[in-house]
Structure 1
Amino acid sequence: MSESFPRLNARTRRFTLGVPRGFTISPDGGRVVFLRTKTGTDPVTCLWELDTETHVERLVVDPRELHGEDEENLPPEERARRERSREAAGGIVAYATDFHVSKVCFALSGQLYVAELAGGRTRRLETPGAVIDPRLSPDGRHVAYVTGGALRVQDLASGHDRALAEPESPTVTYGLAEFIAAEEMDRMRGFWWSPQSDALLVERADEAPVQVWHIADPANPDRPATAQRYPAAGTPNAITELYVLGLDGSRVGVPYEEEYLANAAWDAHALSIVTLTRDQRTMRLFEVDPASGAKTLVREDTDPAWVDIVPGVPAHLDDGSLVWVANSEGGHRLFVGDRAVTPPTLQVRAVLDVDHDSVLFTASGDPTEIQLWTWDGHSLLPVSTRSGVFSGRMAGGVGVLTEQSLDAEGVSTTVVRRDGMAVPIPSFAEPPGLDLRVSIGRSGRRELATAVVLPSWHEPGSRKLPVLMDPYGGPHAQRVLNRRASYLESQWFAEQGFAVIVADGRGTPGRGVDFERAVLNDLATPALEDQIDALQGVAEQYPDDLDLSRVAIRGWSFGGFLAALAVLRRPDVFHAAVAGAPVTDWRLYDTCYTERYLGDPNEQPEVYEKSSLFADAAKLERPLLLIHGLADDNVVSAHTLRLSSALLAAGRQHSVLPLSGVTHMTPQEVVAENLLLLQVDFLKKALG
């Protein structure tokens, strides 16, 4: 008998296992290195290499052959790094290469390995402690890594291993991205090699000013609580500093005044750093003299709301021209030098690669599409020509193209050679086994991007179905995209008898600057208004299929906040809610995310009150299920527990499902499987 969708969804980590990812193309375009598990249910990620000329694919490293275990013994810092990056698999989940992509280094169970791609030999290097984020020097002669908060470098020929910087106290680390950088700025690294392989730019982070929270597991009282440094809104962040550390023992400080280090890059043209002020309204790009630490301001971007951090920049063309992304004329635009080379109607999302004089980037004209484009120094060219969600890499004139759409299962990956020949890299992902019935369009007064998911067995107009709103709804994230993966869980809920609506409201990307900034100083009102607007718009389009007397809403994280908000403030519209890991009081969430939209709670507390759920607790009159992992270090369980206390004090009935040992990701298979089943059971009973 075939497995149920909830079981298969859990076993496959939401159907991500077996999908090729993490591509690196050699500078000559002859080889592509990538990660992939052996099957769609195998959680152990292996390292692979494809020869683009012969089309021959080779398994380079199978972690089981190195230490024979599926389960890894990870150091706490690596577990935290994977939680920040939402990494659900095991094995080799990250790697780094030298410039010529002849060697690869990676950490496995805290041990350091280096593989020679040409000879196929993999060896373990001796280190004084568990290894985090190893990275080879461009010349392939050294590997730098972090252990015990120290940045160390090992000479691969001699085996000589030494610390370039050691922590001065237990709250200090060298070479690691601090919590805020990893969780909210998409910066997962804390050190960068020089192109000459003779020095590194290294972040020093001191968490001493950050308040300590304790995350306990009440189900296991014999275990001590975990002390977590968590910078909640309005409280101090970690102190970050930068140093250029030479292999000759030199140490040069790179001072900066801004609160956040958003990014850094060190290429043949410049050592660059990108900084951001605490209010996130000013971003500065500096070039740094590595010998003296002196900075030169290259550009400054300001915005009365906030300045966006865009992945992949700064970068440079071969002639030294700066590649950058900034807001201009209401759009996110690609700049080369001082010139915008994309129109304001094309919303640039990320720069993926710069190959000599060509820039590969993703952008959206339609917010439900993420297309691949290049700028070749003279003209703007579309790489992807079909409807869908695309990404890729580019080096040596060779490209890697990944494609997702509503028309095909999973992720399709193709290597495009210089002669135009396409070489597929197969995916081993399991098929979900669902018959998708998804219609994407616009709905409501604001013409919001909306997906309507109906049961495969439903005949239009034959009966009115109870409605399930299934949003994320928060800024800088999307649910409505032209790909099947966005709607698998929604389709499964639809098969249980619901008409499911997924809508992206104001704050979500892809529709320009004004649309995104409509949530400034209010994360509650626009998000809730837009879900109602979308619901009413879909009801007009499907008058004989939706039962508006039975409307439920479910969500996780910001979506959980939105679900609870819906039944508290608009019980006339929403009749039941499942709120998973909800933010309930934004004072309890982190600095960078929260202050971007709501400012400093010490300066404008009324803004936080307007977006808090606590004042609405006495209004609850609909069934509400609160779900929270007690080990969640992102949205801590205090959010749910405090809301539950406020509801109890108001005499309002509700349900709470605490998940012992579960983080924000809910990675455990049994938990992920049964959460879907429990939600359906709750919603069916709540809606009668």
Structure 2
Amino acid sequence: MKLKQALAIIGFLTTSLIYCQNKQITLEEIWSGAFRTEGMQALHSMNNGKQYSILNFDRQTRNASIDIYDYKTLEKVKTLVSSEDIDEIEGFFDYSFSNDESQIILTTNSVPVFRRSTLGEYYVYNINTKSLTKVSENLVQEPTLSPDGTKIAYGFENNLYVKDLSSGNVEQITFDGEKNKIINGITDWVYEEEFSFVRAFDWNADSNQIAFIRFDETNVPEFSMDVYGSGLYQTQQVFKYPKAGEANSIVSLHLYNLNSKSLDEIKVDKDYSDFYIPRLKWTKDPNVLSVQFMNRHQNELDLWMINTKTNTSKIALAEKDKAYIDVTFNLTFLKDNSFIWTSEKDGFNHIYHYSKDGDLINQVTQGNWEVTDYYGFNEKANTIYYQSTENGSINRDVFSIKLNGKNKKRLTKTTGSNSASFSADFTYFINTHSSATAPPEYTLNSAKSGEVVKSIKDNDRLAQKLGDYKTSKKEFSTINVNGNDLNMWMIKPSNFDQNKEYPLFMYQYSGPGSQSVANRWNGANDYWHQMLAQEGYIVVCVDGRGTGFKGAEFKKVTQNELGKYEVEDQIAVAEKLGKLPYIDDERIGIWGWSYGGFMSSNALFKGNDVFKMAIAVAPVSSWRFYDTIYTERYMTTPQENPSGYDDNSPINHVDKLKGDFLLIHGSGDDNVHLQNTMRMVEALVQADKQFEWMIYPDKNHGIYGGNTRLHLYKKMTNFIHKTLGDRREKNQEEMEETSKIKG
């Protein structure tokens, strides 16, 4: 670590002891980006393993460029392409290379569809000829170059197209695509949201076959949202959204052969009903396609190997779990078509090596800790690189290990959150490190030893800037409730006096497999929590049962009863902390967003003798209103598990409300629909319960845009002051002020 960074961090750590640190963090600063960190945008390791590319953007000139840097010297070698030199476009904000890095897809315009999907304007730039080819005159989805770089496939209006980059000819390969009915090669809403991918097609290694998933949404119920806009009449957004227990898209697997121009459906040798296809990926063999099939309960997963030449299929791997199986992107095929797989089957997420036929060769990693990311396999060194929690569940470190499970080595030396981006030949990795006390720093590290070669980029200026503000150390610990040691952080006021009593304000998310207590640098909410701490609140976050990175048993204990054990833990934590001499047990509040809003609502209702207030932002009020894939993964269907859905949904506990409640939602939320809040409001009204609420017109699940976030956090801050502020001190101040006036 560099001396100047160490000094900056020491300054940050001792903020509560330095008298000159008297500036107060403001909401305006938080949401204007005053504490934004600098990073490395669109980092890509070049095939030669000696260089990497970065997207650089000049805010003043609006010029974008893809620049090449040398790993060893970190010096800029050249500019591959600059928008300043291309007359046809004004700029670009993202890029991707062809396999041989002779061509680049440039994204010049993008319109969001849902959380991950966009409609975009794209160009292919040929580095050798410096020529530019527009992919389509239309806004298209997921343009993907063939491995040989001669063609590009994309989605448009629910159909798939292939463009020949040499001739310019465009071939439409599906014709039945229709909005809210049939989608080819692009995922439907629920797959995109819950299986985390949009491109549902893939090229084979020889660039002559495209496999894709077809979604038949015909029988999926529609959901509609009013869009108020600024016109005289509102419009409607109508889309297919399968709520728990309702019909999903009927999915099927298809293959297009570019040589024979044939389009065929691929069927496997097993009868499935009501199933998912959450992943498809070609192996190293251009005629062997891997496809993952999953039952609707998501506790059985089959990995199929399909030979498109012989039209045969076989299951290479079949996993079962008493609760559910997490789908990942970690499947990696080696040169011999053996493959790397990650699984929780021994109780913790670990790496496994299987033969191409699915025979287990060995379990590569093992222990009572979790593999949290898989980075790749170095064929030459026979070494796997991964990230894990071996140094504590709130930390992340980068490790290397031989394919046979021997010679494990910790490559990162500094405690906190470490993540790696490896060079193509695995000589180096760029490590991103941060902790609760150290802002992100990017360093070049040796992949063999892990030693830092050079610092690339830091955020020392931000650390120094924060030295002027009143801030407090985020204190990590564990708290034992309900028989479990739960991870916790606490922020106290910088002028904390253990002889005083402070209100307690709790934050959590608590969703299955999530983590809010982590040793990483501040997000926007952390700055808000710091602001609240300096205004006299103790802020606490606890990851209860059901959260992640402490093993499958801890995570999956909430199965079929979402909102039971998680809420019990938050209530028990509040009760225990309320007994501390410096916490006022009559002023305890809780807040959360999305799943966290579901939790904070439940905590206030079920823990009405503990919590005096709650804020719920975009909450689920009943799991009956949420989508199939997420909800049924943890709850099965409402038809099978009605009590699991109803016993722990806050909408059914509104009659218990005693404290102050603030309910917030965006009317354009395509994820957790406004329906959740509207139904909760109606239930509260009919139970004759007073509360406050706020609807943000046309705002989605993130509730942002323009002045929205600032307004939202001002509203929440004011509500906290009104409901948790020290009324006794306020009353005393008012009495003293009155006496002065009378005197």
What's the TM-score once normalised by structure 1's chain length?
0.89
In structure 1, what residue type is equivalent to 2:490? V
1:612 and 2:613 matched: no
Between 170-179 and 109-118, the greater mean CA deviation after superposition: 109-118
Tell me which residue corresponds to 2:373. 350
Tell me which residue corresponds to 1:92. 93
CA distance in 1, matches of 2:43, 2:678: 42
In structure 2, what residue type is equivalent to 1:305? A
Distance 1:155 1:386, change over 3 A: same
Q: Which runs of 5+ in 2 are unaligned?
A: 1-22, 110-119, 355-359, 726-743
CA distance in 1, matches of 2:442, 2:62: 20
Between 548-557 and 260-269, the greater mean CA deviation after superposition: 260-269
Tell me which residue corresponds to 2:255. 244
Tell me which residue corresponds to 1:229. 240
Tell me which residue corresponds to 2:108. 108
CA distance in 1, matches of 2:712, 2:62: 20
Partner secondary structure for residue 484 of structure 1: coil
Superposed displacement of residue 67, structure 1: 7.9
Between 431-440 and 674-683, the greater mean CA deviation after superposition: 431-440
Between 511-520 and 153-162, the greater mean CA deviation after superposition: 153-162
Between 460-469 and 675-684, the greater mean CA deviation after superposition: 460-469
Between 329-338 and 24-33, the greater mean CA deviation after superposition: 24-33
1:52 and 2:71 matched: yes
Aligned residues between the structures = 660
In structure 2, what residue type is equivalent to 1:373? F
1:9 and 2:30 matched: yes
Contact kept, 8 Å, 2:200 with 2:280, in 1: the verdict is: no
Correspondences of 1:181-330 after superposition (within 5 Å):
181-218=191-228, 222-248=233-259, 249-255=261-267, 257=272, 259-269=275-285, 270-312=288-330, 314-330=331-347
1:151 and 2:160 matched: yes
Distance 1:611 1:292, change over 3 A: farther
Superposed displacement of residue 292, structure 1: 4.8
- One of 563, 566, 578 as aligned partner of 1:527: 566
Correspondences of 1:210-609 after superposition (within 5 Å):
210-218=220-228, 222-248=233-259, 249-255=261-267, 257=272, 259-269=275-285, 270-312=288-330, 314-337=331-354, 338=360, 339-356=362-379, 357-365=382-390, 366-378=392-404, 379=406, 380-394=408-422, 395-397=424-426, 398-412=428-442, 414=444, 416=446, 422-426=453-457, 431=462, 433=466, 435-445=471-481, 446-455=484-493, 457-486=494-523, 487-538=526-577, 543-609=580-646
In structure 2, what residue type is equivalent to 1:146? G
Superposed displacement of residue 424, structure 1: 4.3
Q: Deviations along 1:45-75, whole A, 9 cap, x unmatched? A: 87544332552346656679878879xxxxx
CA distance in 2, matches of 1:430, 1:189: 40
Tell me which residue corresponds to 1:687. 724
Contact kept, 8 Å, 1:568 with 1:616, in 2: the verdict is: yes
Between 208-217 and 651-660, the greater mean CA deviation after superposition: 208-217
Superposed displacement of residue 570, structure 1: 0.8
Q: Deviations along 1:80-106, whole A, 9 cap, x unmatched? A: xxxxxxxxxxx635x432223332214
In structure 1, what residue type is equivalent to 2:221? Q
CA-based RMSD: 2.9
Contact kept, 8 Å, 2:432 with 2:440, in 1: the verdict is: no
CA distance in 1, matches of 2:135, 2:329: 34
Contact kept, 8 Å, 2:513 with 2:549, in 1: the verdict is: no
Tell me which residue corresponds to 1:76. none
Distance 1:668 1:275, change over 3 A: same
Tell me which residue corresponds to 1:79. none
CA distance in 2, matches of 1:106, 1:240: 31
Distance 1:592 1:411, change over 3 A: farther
Specify the structure having the higher radius of gyration (Cα).
Answer: 2
CA distance in 1, matches of 2:305, 2:257: 18
Contact kept, 8 Å, 2:25 with 2:531, in 1: the verdict is: no
Identity %: 24
Tell me which residue corresponds to 2:701. 664
In structure 2, what residue type is equivalent to 1:56? E
Tell me which residue corresponds to 2:19. none
CA distance in 2, matches of 1:671, 1:514: 40
Superposed displacement of residue 195, structure 1: 1.5
Contact kept, 8 Å, 1:448 with 1:534, in 2: the verdict is: no
Distance 1:502 1:163, change over 3 A: same
CA distance in 2, matches of 1:42, 1:470: 41
Q: Deviations along 1:352-381, whole A, 9 cap, x unmatched? A: 323323322222132211222223324232
Between 357-366 and 547-556, the greater mean CA deviation after superposition: 357-366
Distance 1:509 1:421, change over 3 A: closer
Tell me which residue corresponds to 1:73. none
Q: Which runs of 5+ in 1 are unaligned?
A: 71-90
In structure 2, what residue type is equivalent to 1:331? F
CA distance in 1, matches of 2:131, 2:624: 48
Contact kept, 8 Å, 1:112 with 1:126, in 2: the verdict is: yes
Superposed displacement of residue 606, structure 1: 1.4
Partner secondary structure for residue 444 of structure 1: strand
Between 162-171 and 468-477, the greater mean CA deviation after superposition: 162-171
Contact kept, 8 Å, 1:474 with 1:559, in 2: the verdict is: yes
Contact kept, 8 Å, 1:326 with 1:333, in 2: the verdict is: yes
In structure 2, what residue type is equivalent to 1:97? F
CA distance in 2, matches of 1:448, 1:98: 46
CA distance in 2, matches of 1:282, 1:115: 44
Between 122-131 and 443-452, the greater mean CA deviation after superposition: 122-131
Contact kept, 8 Å, 1:317 with 1:355, in 2: the verdict is: no
In structure 2, what residue type is equivalent to 1:614? I
CA distance in 2, matches of 1:43, 1:526: 51
Q: Deviations along 1:638-675, whole A, 9 cap, x unmatched? A: 10111001101111001110001210122314111221
Tell me which residue corresponds to 2:8. none
Between 287-296 and 475-484, the greater mean CA deviation after superposition: 287-296
CA distance in 1, matches of 2:678, 2:61: 36
